[in-house]
């Protein structure tokens, strides 16, 4: 249990680790789904191709969409792409990095499904059994048959109990021929995916490492900023609800005192702390305006010390003082209450 707890904590350490864990789980799930799937070829002309290619291509597409849905970056990417420009510009490089990172993780399970399916060979055997070269694999002395009859006979090759065309072409020869082609395609696909992954990992730092680091940094920043904003809103809502409930019960206590029922209870000690956490936003309209302002014009990514008021205005409007005061140590702290 301790090992599983450590693995779970590692997956929760950051967004990338969490998504890598999701991709690993989906990859294992895809292999388990294929092993538990009961493959039944219809063994009918014009249906074998649709069934075989459907089993080969449709589940990877579903797994890809599922990987996009489970990826938290899809909502972050959509919000960043659709939001108004406001006071903060949108960097296309960051959007491209988020999309590529999301697509790469979502492609793991589909690629594994395709690899396992091609290496197994059942889908290719079912889909292309009617396209066998009878001139090189079939019996040259077979009785003359029409094209439709030959198609019906070849369509039954995946179904061992239904096949009756041993005189036309041996079933073992046809199955082995198609399975070898499928396995060759599977190994080529695995080699292609491995080569592409190697090239991306090894050649990317040689060309655009600085741009990649900037895109990666701001992509992480957008995700962290969104989570901190959600936590801040949740904390404000909690404090707002606490103050509303306390004011309600204080009003009820005042009414009961006026009716000579009992003495009012002492207000909780954390009432002032909850009021301070509201940051001056104490009504619904102001909060809605703040949320709308955050969406329309996010603050620019430029940190600066707050301007100090003077007798004639703000200190930041004039020239800097000739004799500056002692340097201050500026710190930025982020608090989140869960």
Digit-by-digit pLDDT tens for the chain (338 residues) are 565 566 555 555 555 666 667 777 778 888 788 888 888 899 998 899 999 999 999 999 998 998 888 877 788 888 888 888 888 888 888 888 888 888 888 888 899 999 999 999 999 999 999 888 887 887 755 667 788 888 888 899 999 888 888 888 888 999 999 999 999 999 999 999 999 988 888 887 777 778 888 888 998 898 889 889 999 999 999 988 988 888 888 877 776 666 655 544 555 556 567 777 787 788 889 899 989 888 888 888 888 776 555 544 444 444 444 444 444 444 434 333 43
- What SS3 class is residue 314? strand
> Measured in Å, how far apart are the chain's first and last C-alpha atoms?
25
Tokens of 113: 């499904």
For residue 32, what pLDDT is reported? Answer: 82
Residues 6+ apart with CB under 8 A from 267: 246, 250
For residue 187, what pLDDT is reported? Answer: 95
For residue 269, what pLDDT is reported? Answer: 55
CA 20 to the chain's CA centroid:
10
Quickly list DSSP for 173-241. HHHHHHHHHHHHHHHHHHHHHHHHHHHHHHHHHHHHHHHHHHHHHHHHHHHHHHHHHHHHHHHHHHHHH
Cβ–Cβ < 8 Å for 174, 137: yes
For residue 177, what pLDDT is reported? Answer: 93
Tell whether pTM > 0.75: no
The partner residues of 314 in beta bridges, in order of sequence, read 309
Q: In the chain, where are the structural domains located?
A: 1-207, 210-259
Provide, for the chain, the percentages of residues in helix, strand and coil under a 3-state DSSP scheme, each rounded to the nearest 5: 65, 0, 35
CA distance 191 to 214: 31
């Amino acid at each position: 249990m301790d090992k599983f707890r450590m693995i779970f904590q590692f997956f929760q350490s950051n967004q990338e680790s969490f998504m890598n864990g999701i991709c690993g789980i989906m990859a294992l799930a895809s292999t388990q789904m294929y092993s538990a799937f009961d493959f039944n070829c219809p063994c009918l002309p014009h249906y074998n191709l649709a069934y075989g290619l459907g089993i080969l291509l449709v589940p990877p597409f579903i797994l890809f969409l599922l990987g996009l849905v489970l990826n938290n970056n899809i909502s972050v990417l959509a919000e960043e792409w659709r939001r108004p420009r406001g006071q903060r510009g949108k960097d296309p490089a960051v959007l491209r990095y988020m999309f590529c990172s999301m697509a790469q993780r979502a492609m793991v399970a589909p690629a594994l499904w395709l690899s396992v399916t091609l290496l197994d060979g059942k889908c290719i055997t079912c889909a292309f059994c009617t396209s066998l070269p009878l001139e090189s694999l079939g019996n040259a002395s077979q009785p003359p048959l029409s094209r439709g009859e030959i198609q019906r006979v070849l369509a039954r090759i995946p179904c061992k109990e239904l096949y009756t065309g041993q005189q036309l072409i041996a079933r073992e020869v046809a199955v082995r021929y198609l399975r070898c082609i499928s396995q060759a395609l599977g190994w080529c696909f695995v080699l292609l995916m491995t080569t592409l992954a190697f090239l991306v990992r090894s050649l990317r730092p040689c060309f655009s490492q600085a741009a990649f680091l900037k895109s990666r940094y701001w992509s992480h920043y957008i995700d962290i900023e969104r989570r901190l904003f959600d936590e801040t809103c949740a904390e404000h809502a909690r404090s707002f609800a606490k103050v509303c409930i306390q004011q309600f019960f204080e009003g009820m206590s005042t009414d009961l005192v006026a009716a000579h029922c009992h003495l009012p209870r002492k207000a909780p000690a954390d009432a002032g702390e909850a009021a301070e956490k509201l940051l001056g936003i104490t009504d619904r309209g102001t909060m809605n305006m703040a949320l709308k302002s955050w969406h329309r014009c996010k603050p620019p990514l430029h940190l600066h010390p707050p301007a100090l008021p003077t007798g004639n205005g703000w200190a930041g409007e004039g020239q800097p003082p000739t004799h500056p005061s002692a340097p201050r140590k500026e710190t930025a702290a982020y608090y989140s209450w869960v």
